[in-house]
């Protein structure tokens, strides 16, 4: 009985498979990391949009007082998928701080809006 060896003449024993798997794993890990970065960027931008819109909406009601202005700001912030963390009037300027929770963390943003001089 003759036993055939699967060894190549130069002694290669499948190292290309290991290298290909390693390169593939590195590519997959890089793609996952970039997806996480994308999620974080999207959350940050969403927080800034919510803060900007909330500040603008609330500033339109600044003459009615802090409670009314912040209530209006909260409506816009929540409608944009964020949480109102802080809201205060500084003269007629409304300052709003919001947070958006994502699977990679919490993104925060602040905005200030008031009358144009």
Q: For residue 96, give the CATH number of its domain.
A: 3.30.1300
Task: Note whether residue 16 is domain-resident.
Answer: no
Q: Which tokens in the block code for residue 61?
A: 């009601």
Task: Note whether residue 18 is domain-resident.
Answer: no
Task: Note whether residue 11 is domain-resident.
Answer: no
CB 100 within 8 A of CB 107: yes
Which residues, including other chains, have CB under 8 Å from residue 100's CB and lie 6 or more apart? 43, 44, 46, 47, 50, 81, 82, 83, 106, 107, 108
Task: Note whether residue 33 is domain-resident.
Answer: yes
Domain tally for the chain?
Answer: 1
pTM for the complete prediction?
0.77
CB 82 within 8 A of CB 46: yes
Task: Note whether residue 8 is domain-resident.
Answer: no
Helix (H, G, I), strand (E, B) or coil at 102: strand
pLDDT tens for residues 41-81?
999 999 999 999 999 999 999 999 999 999 999 999 999 99
**How far is the C-alpha of 81 from the C-alpha of 111, rounded, in Å?**
16
pLDDT tens for residues 78-91?
999 999 999 999 99
Task: Note whether residue 6 is domain-resident.
Answer: no
Q: Which domain, by its residues, includes 105?
A: 23-113
């Amino acid at each position: 009985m003759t036993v055939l060896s699967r060894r190549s003449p130069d002694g290669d024993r499948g190292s290309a498979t290991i290298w290909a798997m390693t390169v593939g794993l590195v590519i997959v890990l890089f793609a996952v990391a970039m997806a996480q970065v994308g999620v974080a960027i999207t959350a940050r931008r969403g927080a800034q949009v919510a803060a900007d819109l909330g500040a603008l909406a609330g500033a339109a009601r600044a003459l009615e007082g802090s409670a009314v202005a912040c209530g209006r700001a909260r409506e816009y912030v929540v409608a944009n998928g964020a949480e109102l963390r802080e809201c205060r009037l500084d003269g007629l300027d409304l300052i709003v701080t919001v947070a958006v929770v994502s699977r990679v963390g919490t993104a925060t943003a602040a905005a200030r809006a008031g009358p144009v001089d």
